């Protein structure tokens, strides 16, 4: 995203060389001590890496299997059929995203036309709002394809993922020394977005970009990939592989959790390198309710000079999305929409890239 700038701070460089695995089964326990036993690992991983795997979750295997099957069936359709659900036709930024529709900012390339295009297609699912009195730019009825089986399978996984997100939010609250229920009232209608991403087979994908280097906008991401390709940037400027671990999800810290934690938990820059094999990836971007004001929930770290200004959750998401998607750029340039006045201008995760 072009607005993002490099911002150095005084926190120690994170010299991790692998991504930790955390068994979160204790978070489901009714025994407080068993829930707290998981918290130290979450705190350390969120602070020192910004990424971790989770096992011990309660998402059924058949829900993930059905999601993958639904995605494969959808993306196998002709391009013209998929474009009937083009994301630019939606009311809540949902639908089919063709290759080249979204472009991530690269620090050494300032011109939109010169930015490398991500080699993928996607289908985005957002909170399917039924009460339109709560409608916002990215909160409304979801654009679904005319396929009841697709909707049923994807909705089921979305609901399971959202419930897991609530469990993790409670874990993050405890890890920050907050009341365990701190986030509960902020998760009524969160515009969580599930992306079904397809990277087609490419025999010439040696150094191709799947998704460019970036941090995620939301509080955290819950990721299910089907093949390797994810890489995470450490404090030494090295890209660390995050390979697939069967039965595990990847969790990574986003911009808004870094803000909420006042810099204790770090949004880490990551990317996807295009691999030759066909690959699917299913990130669920987890956030708070649209009108929630995101601001530091705990005191500042004495050793940092980074300042975190409050921002409305939905405004941040919308501003970043405008800067990424071609159809929203066209609306912005034509005066049909305006970028929110309050959004984050700081470059989370960018200090590592400046090394």
Is beta strand 121-125 parallel, antiparallel or unpaired with respect to 193-199? antiparallel
- pLDDT of 83-101, one tens digit each? 999 999 999 999 999 999 9
- pLDDT of 144-174, one tens digit each? 999 999 999 999 999 999 999 999 999 999 9
Alpha-carbon gap, residue 48 to 268, rounded angstroms: 10
Query: Where in the chain are the domains?
Result: 5-347
Rg (CA), the chain: 19
Asked if 313 and 294 touch (Cβ cutoff 8 Å), the reply is: yes
Sign of CA dihedral 25, 28, 30, 35: positive
Q: How far is CA 311 from CA 6, 22, 215, 292, 355, in A?
A: 19, 31, 17, 8, 28
Four-way CATH pick for 5-347: 2.60.120.330, 3.30.413.10, 1.10.240.10, 3.50.50.60: 2.60.120.330
Task: For residue 5, name the pLDDT band (cuts at 50, 70, 90).
Answer: very low
Percent of the chain scoring above 70 in pLDDT: 84
Token pair 């060389």 is at which residue?
A: 17
Asked if 260 and 296 touch (Cβ cutoff 8 Å), the reply is: yes
Alpha-carbon gap, residue 332 to 327, rounded angstroms: 9
- pLDDT of 252-308, one tens digit each? 999 999 999 999 998 999 888 766 778 899 999 999 999 999 999 998 776 665 778
Exposure b/e, 135-150, CB count within 10 A at least 16 = b? ebbbbbbbbbbeeeeb
- Is residue 352's pLDDT more than 70? no
Token pair 């005084």 is at which residue?
A: 10
pTM: 0.89
Q: How far is CA 15 from CA 11, 48, 239, 270, 328, in A?
A: 12, 8, 11, 15, 38
- pLDDT of 7-19, one tens digit each? 333 344 577 888 9
**What would the two tokens of residue 190 be?**
């969160």
Distance of CA 172 to the CA centre of its chain: 16
Nearest in space to 188 (alpha carbons), one of 291, 58, 260, 95: 291
- Is residue 185's pLDDT more than 60? yes
């Amino acid at each position: 995203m072009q607005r993002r700038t490099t911002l150095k701070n005084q926190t120690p460089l994170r010299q991790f060389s692998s991504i930790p695995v955390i068994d979160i089964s204790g978070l489901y326990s009714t025994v407080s001590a068993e829930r707290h036993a998981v918290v130290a690992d979450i705190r350390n991983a969120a602070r020192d890496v910004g990424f971790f795997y989770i096992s011990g979750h309660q998402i059924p295997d058949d829900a993930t299997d059905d999601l993958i099957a639904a995605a494969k069936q959808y993306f196998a359709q002709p391009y013209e059929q998929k474009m009937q659900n083009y994301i630019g036709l939606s009311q809540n930024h949902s639908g089919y995203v063709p290759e080249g529709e979204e472009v991530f900012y690269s620090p050494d390339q300032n011109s939109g036309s010169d930015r490398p295009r991500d080699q993928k297609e996607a289908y985005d699912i957002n909170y399917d709002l039924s009460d339109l009195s709560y409608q916002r730019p990215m909160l409304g009825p979801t654009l679904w394809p005319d396929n009841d089986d697709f909707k049923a399978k994807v909705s089921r996984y979305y609901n399971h993922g959202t419930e897991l997100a609530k469990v993790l939010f409670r874990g993050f609250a405890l890890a920050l020394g907050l009341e365990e229920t701190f986030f509960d009232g902020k998760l009524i209608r969160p515009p969580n977005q599930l992306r079904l991403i397809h990277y087609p087979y490419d025999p010439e994908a040696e150094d191709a970009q799947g998704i460019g280097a970036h941090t995620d906008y939301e509080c955290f991401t819950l990721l299910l990939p089907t093949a390797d390709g994810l890489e995470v940037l450490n404090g030494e400027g090295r890209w660390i592989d995050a390979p697939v671990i069967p039965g595990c999800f990847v969790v990574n810290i986003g911009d808004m959790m870094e803000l909420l934690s006042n810099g204790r938990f770090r949004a880490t820059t990551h990317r996807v390198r295009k691999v030759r094999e066909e690959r699917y990836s299913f990130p669920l971007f987890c956030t708070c309710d649209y009108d929630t004001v995101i601001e530091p929930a705990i005191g500042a770290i004495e050793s940092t000079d980074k300042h975190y200004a409050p921002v409305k959750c939905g405004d941040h998401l919308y501003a970043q999305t405008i800067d990424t998607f071609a159809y929203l750029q066209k609306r912005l340039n034509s005066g049909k929409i305006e970028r929110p006045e309050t959004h984050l201008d700081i470059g989370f995760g960018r200090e590592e890239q400046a090394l």
